[in-house]
Structure 1
Amino acid sequence: MSLKDNFTADEWFKVMTGPGRAGAAVVAASPSGVTGLLAEAGAIAAAVRESVSRERRTPLMEAMAADLLGQPAARAPEQERARNVEDVKNQSLEGVRQAMWLVNAKTSPEDAAAYRDMLMLVAERTAEAATEGGFLGIGGERVNDKERAVIEELRQMLGGSGSGVITHETPPEALDRRPEPGPDGSGNSN
């Protein structure tokens, strides 16, 4: 039995897309032009590749590396479409939270720490990939306040430096279910 067998297909999809969502949250916090977006996308891919290619990797990193090299990506579960960049940021942060919760619940502390480190590496490298502000590449700053705020939000959500344990959150499965509509059709039961 492989570590991946601990997860349903939808759960594994959430784990596999968690790093990309960490990067997307940073991108959405302070959108760059096309050149910046390409640099940020490249930074996400490079940080994931670096994390799963380390010499001493955990079983989770091994399973993720195998999936990245082998099988085509699974189909994304249905979710609400983002209407603006704030929605993208919020949905991305929620996706990261769910992925980290799953990893904490279904893997070892070493796997959880490695996954947390990967998420933070992706966020930090994404923020550093493109200069924000300035004109024609002159001036601006490497990491702006909005990006720093998202990185700090991720750090707080993931448990700061160290444990990466999320114990106070609702399991992702509970969030995927929508309440039944009430008698008036509003979703409220009273």
Structure 2
Amino acid sequence: MADKTNFTKDEWTLLLESPMIAGMAITAAEPSGLWGLLKESFAGGAALTEAASSAGTNALVKSVVTDFASSEGRSAARDGLKAKFVNSNPAEMKGKCIDELRQVSALLAAKAPGDAAEFKNWLRQISKSTAEAASEGGGLFSAGVKVSDAEKATLGEISNALGT
């Protein structure tokens, strides 16, 4: 089972960022206003909390969640994300997120093949939960759709990037 010691500092930071990147790709695919953004952000946070408390979660996921719970881990992830996405518009952000998830997939295949499938499925689930968190395209008297076409397409891109 892989843990933090199997990765360089930069590789570990990428793994720390990856749950947020999985959610950000969906949010950037179809920005849905402040309320939608909040719902989608909470969905990603809930996935981290669930992984921390789930007995079936693999060791690498738990290691990332545990490190993210520390102020040092959160700072590394926050600073890394800030550097990667500063001044990006939503389309650029989505593209960068997909590229980052490809890097995560390659990193896991190289350094944690035994943990890769479950970790990538976890990231895929975060993106799916984010997509389902807020309705898209609704108006004052209509609820819109649970997952928009843009979000569905992005879920496909995420799956391809992760190889799931």
In the TM superposition, residue 153 of structure 1 has moved relative to its aligned partner by: 1.0
Contact kept? 2:52, 2:66, Cα under 8 Å: no
Q: 2:105 pairs with 100, 108, 112, which one? A: 100
Structure 1 SS opposite 2:145: coil
Bigger mean CA deviation after superposition, 18-27 or 57-66: 57-66
Alpha-carbon deviations, 1:138-161, whole Å to 9, x = none?
23101010000000111122223x
- 1:146-161 mapped onto 2 (5 Å cutoff): 146-160=150-164
Number of residue pairs aligned between Structure 1 and Structure 2: 158
Question: Separation in 2 of the partners of 1:100 and 1:60?
Answer: 14
Aligned equivalent of 1:115: 119
Aligned equivalent of 2:96: 91
Bigger mean CA deviation after superposition, 30-39 or 43-52: 43-52
Contact kept? 1:25, 1:88, Cα under 8 Å: yes
Task: Point out where structure 1 has 5 or more consecutive residues left out of the alignment.
Answer: 161-190
Question: Separation in 2 of the partners of 1:90 and 1:151?
Answer: 13
TM-score, L = length of structure 1? 0.76
Between structures 1 and 2, the one with greater helix share: 2
TM-score, L = length of structure 2? 0.87
Task: Point out where structure 2 has 5 or more consecutive residues left out of the alignment.
Answer: none
Question: Separation in 2 of the partners of 1:37 and 1:141?
Answer: 15
In the TM superposition, residue 102 of structure 1 has moved relative to its aligned partner by: 1.2
Contact kept? 2:29, 2:91, Cα under 8 Å: yes
Structure 2 SS opposite 1:76: helix
Q: Which has the higher contact order (CA 8 A, sep 6+)?
A: 2
AA matched with 1:8 = T
